[in-house]
Amino acid sequence: MPVSQTSILSFYKLDPAKMNAHQTLIYNIIKEDPTLCNRDIARITGMEICSVTGRVNELAKMGRIVSWSVKKDIVTQRTVKVWRAVA
Q: pLDDT per residue over 31-51, tens digit each? A: 999 999 999 999 999 999 999
Assessment of whether the complete model's pTM goes beyond 0.95 = no
* Domain ranges for the chain: 16-85
Percent of the chain residues topping a pLDDT of 70: 80
Percent of the chain residues topping a pLDDT of 90: 75
CATH code for residues 16-85: 1.10.10.10
Three-state secondary structure of 12-81:
HHCCCCCCCHHHHHHHHHHHHCCCCCHHHHHHHHCCCHHHHHHHHHHHHHHCCEEEEEEEECCCCCCEEE
Structure confidence at residue 53 (pLDDT) = 97
